[in-house]
Amino acid sequence: MTKQLETNNTWQIGGKTLNSRLLIGSALYPSPANMEDAIRISGAQIVTVSLRRQAAGEGNGNPFWDIIKSLGIEVLPNTAGSHSAKEAITTAQMAREVFGTNWVKLEVIGDQYNLQPDPFETVKAAEVLIKEGFEVFPYTTDDLVVAKRLADVGCKIIMPWGSMIGSGKGLMNPDNLIAIRKQFPDLQLIVDAGIGKPSHATQAMELGYDGVLLNSAIALAQDPVKMADAFRLAVEAGRLGYEAGVMKEREFASPSTPTVGTPFWHQFN
The annotated binding site for 1-deoxy-D-xylulose 5-phosphate is made up of: 166, 193-194, 215-216
φ/ψ of residue 123, rounded to 5: -65, -40
Q: Which one, of 94, 92, 102, lies nearest residue 133 by Cα?
A: 102
Cβ atoms of 65 and 54 closer than 8 Å: yes
| Catalytic residue (choose from 16, 105, 169, 197) | 105
What's the rounded Cα separation, in Å, for the pair 148 and 153? 9
What's the start-to-end Cα distance of the chain, in Å? Answer: 35
Whether 105 is catalytic is yes
Element (H, E) at 101: none
Angle at 217 between CA 212 and CA 32, to 5 degrees: 105
Angle separating helix axes 224-244 and 198-206, nearest 10 degrees:
20
Contact 189, 160 (CB under 8 A): yes
* H/E element, 258: none
Give the C-alpha separation, 129 to 114, whole Å. Answer: 25
The DSSP letter of residue 109 is B
Identify the bridge partners of residue 18 per DSSP, sorted by sequence position.
Answer: 11
Q: CA nearest 215: which of 105, 63, 65?
A: 105
Interatomic CA distance for residues 142 and 162, integer angstroms? 7
Residues that are catalytic: 105
